[in-house]
Amino acid sequence: MVITPSQRNHARLLGEGASTIVLAHGFGTDQTAWRHQELALAEDHRVLLFDHVGAGRSDLSAYSPRRYQSLRSYAIDLLDLLEELALEDVIYVGHSMSGMIGVLAANEEPRRFRKLVLLGASPRYLDDADYEGGFKRADLDGLYDAMQTNYHAWASGFAPIVTGNPDKPGLARDFAASLMALRPDIALTVAHIIFESDHRADLPKVTLPTLVLQSQADIAVPTAVGHYLAGHIPRAELRLLDATGHMPHWSAPEQVTRAILSFAASA
């Protein structure tokens, strides 16, 4: 039996409209991460939601660590999905790891995309000379070790740090539950892919209008990274949200929805 890309990635199309907004989730979540945005966006647009292989209700039989060794593999999945659904000129919204997935896919097949929205995205998480990524080597080694030693304990401790907003403990509970729904081996492999990646050289190749959406305080992606993206993608603009944490589409959902709709409507 041949599994189509839409089956593999549990794709859903909502709404109607002349344009299509693609919502791509970040690490540790699935398409339900967009629950605060999908219906509002679908009022005037078609909205495509999907799960990266290994997450949510994707087809786990499609996953192998040999197949998914870099973010480029996920970019190929995205392009396969757009091809199957005959979608071009889409407005792509990528959170966290999906930001660079969108960059790679748009550089490969720019006709499939009209605009990019990069929410809490980073081309490199590890600090480098003259570059602040937010993590040092010891930080990442400790993260990998904690994931391997006791994954559920790691997820419980990692979630509140990443979501921030201690006054909204439900955000951390939701993220912890989402992390724990992942197979630990897949989560560890994907974490390595994300945190060891360096896509800074891909940024100047982006030809599309790009909106960089950045929280004011994000432990995973410092504001310096948002400025770096806006400074190295030729047609990018940076918008700092009145929000904290790595999940502003949860902590400040109306702001994120308005920003997407405004950018989608702009010339």
Catalytic residue among 30, 218, 249, 251: 218
Residue environment code for 95-110, b if the CB has 16+ CB neighbours within 10 A, otherwise e: bbbbbbbbbbbbbeee
Let me know if 218 is a catalytic residue. Answer: yes
Q: How many Cβ atoms sit within 10 Å of the Cβ of residue 61? A: 9
Let me know if 58 is a catalytic residue. Answer: no
**Cα(226)–Cα(231) distance, rounded to whole angstroms?**
9
Phi, psi of 216 (to 5 degrees): -70, -30
Catalytic residue among 96, 122, 197, 251: 96
H helices of the chain, in order, are 5-8, 38-41, 71-84, 97-108, 137-149, 151-163, 169-180, 184-195, 223-232, 248-251, 253-265
Catalytic residue among 52, 95, 246, 249: 246
Let me know if 96 is a catalytic residue. Answer: yes
Q: Which secondary structure element, helix H or strand E, spans residue 213, and what is its range?
A: strand 210-214
Q: Which residues are catalytic?
A: 96, 218, 246
